[in-house]
Amino acid sequence: MYKPFTTNKRRLVALVLAAMAPGAYADDASSDRIKQLEAMMQQMQQQRAEQDKQMQAMAEELKAMQQQMAQGKEDDLKERGKSKGTPVLANFKDGITFEDGSGNWQLAINGRVQADYRQFSPDADAADTFSLRRARLGGTATFYKDYVVRVEGEYSGSSTSLTYGYFDINKWKQTKIRMGQFKPLYGMERSSSTNFTDFQERSMADSLLGSTYDRGIMVHGAPVPSLYYSLAYINGSGTSDENNAREDTKDTTVRVSGNLAEFAGWKNAVVHVGGWYANGDQGSRRLAGVIPTGQTEGRGVQFFSTTCSTAACGGTAATANAFSDNVERTRGGGELALAYGPVKFQSEYIRAEYESADYQRDIDAWYASTVWNVTGEPFAGMYKDGVFGRLKPRNNFGANGWGAVQLGLRYSKFDGSDFKSANAAGTGVLINNPAGTSDGVLVATNEADAWTVGANWILTPNTRLIANYVHTEFDTPITVRSNGRNDTYEDEDAFTLRAQFDF
């Protein structure tokens, strides 16, 4: 029997299977490709991870090498003496300074040159000349901030001499300790540095103070900001004679000063009041330099001396000017300085007394001065620890300014009239041979008055030019022998110049 439906059904199934066969084959191929790509990606990821590990290892190795090299450099610096591997720093601020970063040490190099010219009228006592007033070089080493060693030499003379050579302990601001060779603090003018004096030379009163430098121990400090003191126990004979005739011939000195303006809170002002006292016995074999010799402020003629102890001076050894036995020397003075803005007034009085069993004489001296900073710099900014220091111009000389200018006037008085009693002529003492066999001052006077007019041009804080005119009048005419001729005159005029650099 013929079955058309069944035959057609079989044919339809066959056609469907035939149509589906290529799609099945395509799905199998895509699946294989995906698996292949996934395998390749996994392989690349594994390779990348391996490369990252290698790069990390290389970075760690490089870092280790850099650390090793840095450690080697630090060890090398330590071997060369550098503190903790820190570099040495250098700077210039009023001096050349070297220090390490740790602050354990500092070395400051200081120096000064003062080149002078002087012209005198009359010129019998001193020739017009160029001279080197001071030429110094030294260093100050500071260790652990509180311990200081300073050494300085003077090179202006025919031989080198020591100016400063001391050790400081500055652990306590109120009580600093200094031992060695230093400058005792006698009054305001002497205590100030010669780099910063108002005039080219100190006043005639300075000669009563004796040697500038001495050896011993000093305690000083500022218990409060407005008060400063110093207490010293020294040889009293300067630096040339350290061996006294007796053990008890040392000098004791004390100075106290204060700034009342700072205490009262007055801005831009200084009211300085101070005083000092020194006492000690001087051995008979240390006569030289104990009683002062007066010299004019222009460093011209020596107008006063007490070195003669013979009848030619007006008496015997016991009654003449020079003493021949141990004598007690007492010195003291008062000081005053008033400043407001760019104007300052300053004055000091000094008295020196000499006394023994058969000897009692004294010398008085004083000065008064006024100074004006024409360019307006205030004096209050220059004052510290009982003295006036460095003036810093508002504008240094150069492209932006002309520096600072000061004008000053000073009067000073020297009075040794108590020594007239030992001179029958009443005209001082004979210094050289009365017959005039050598050059120098033959007859001196006991009193002198001096006027000084000064101008200072401070180009930079470390550079200044100075011009002074000094007129000195003598109480009685003095006689000077020069070039085989004796000249007598009543006064001296001096014109002086200085070029100075300090650091």
More confident residue, 181 or 477: 181
Write the single-letter amino acid at 460. Answer: T
For position 22, what pLDDT does the model report? 53
Tens-place pLDDT, residues 37-85: 888 888 888 888 888 888 888 888 888 888 888 787 666 656 655 445 5
Label residue 288 by pLDDT band (50, 70, 90): very low
What mean pLDDT is predicted for residues 144-156? 95
More confident residue, 454 or 317: 454
C-alpha–C-alpha distance, residues 117 and 200, integer Å = 11
For position 457, what pLDDT does the model report? 98
What mean pLDDT is predicted for residues 94-109? 85
C-alpha–C-alpha distance, residues 276 and 295, integer Å = 23
CA-only gyration radius of the chain, Å: 43
C-alpha–C-alpha distance, residues 10 and 34, integer Å = 37
C-alpha–C-alpha distance, residues 259 and 419, integer Å = 37
In this structure, the number of other CB atoms found within 10 A of the CB of residue 357 comes to: 9
C-alpha–C-alpha distance, residues 79 and 60, integer Å = 29
For position 243, what pLDDT does the model report? 55
Label residue 241 by pLDDT band (50, 70, 90): low
Matching residue, tokens 């500092």:
106
Query: At residue 477, does pLDDT exceed 90?
Result: no
Closest by CA position to 331, among listed 318, 347, 348, 317: 348
- Count Cβ neighbours within 10 Å for each residue of 101-111 and write b for 16 or more, e otherwise: eeeebbbbebb
Pick the CATH number of 88-502 from 2.40.160.10, 3.50.50.60, 3.90.1640.10, 3.40.50.1110: 2.40.160.10
Write the single-letter amino acid at 185. Answer: L
**C-alpha separations of 214 from 80, 177, 186, 383, 458 in Å:** 39, 15, 12, 25, 31
Label residue 318 by pLDDT band (50, 70, 90): very low
Kindly list the domain boundaries of the chain, sorted by start residue: 88-502
Query: At residue 246, does pLDDT exceed 60?
Result: no
C-alpha–C-alpha distance, residues 411 and 364, integer Å = 14
For position 325, what pLDDT does the model report? 62
* Under 8 Å between Cβ of 256 and 275: yes
Label residue 471 by pLDDT band (50, 70, 90): very high
Tens-place pLDDT, residues 211-239: 899 999 999 999 998 999 999 999 888 87
pTM metric for this prediction: 0.77
C-alpha–C-alpha distance, residues 91 and 96, integer Å = 6
What mean pLDDT is predicted for residues 355-371? 88
C-alpha–C-alpha distance, residues 61 and 186, integer Å = 70
* Under 8 Å between Cβ of 373 and 261: no
C-alpha–C-alpha distance, residues 201 and 195, integer Å = 10
For position 155, what pLDDT does the model report? 95
For position 263, what pLDDT does the model report? 92
C-alpha–C-alpha distance, residues 295 and 303, integer Å = 6
Query: At residue 124, does pLDDT exceed 70?
Result: no
Task: Report the range out of 22-31, 80-89, 118-127, 221-230 with the highest average pLDDT.
Answer: 221-230
* Under 8 Å between Cβ of 296 and 448: yes
C-alpha–C-alpha distance, residues 393 and 395, integer Å = 5
* Under 8 Å between Cβ of 359 and 384: no
Query: At residue 358, does pLDDT exceed 90?
Result: no
* Under 8 Å between Cβ of 458 and 409: no
In the chain the first and final C-alpha atoms are separated, in Å, by 140
Label residue 427 by pLDDT band (50, 70, 90): very low
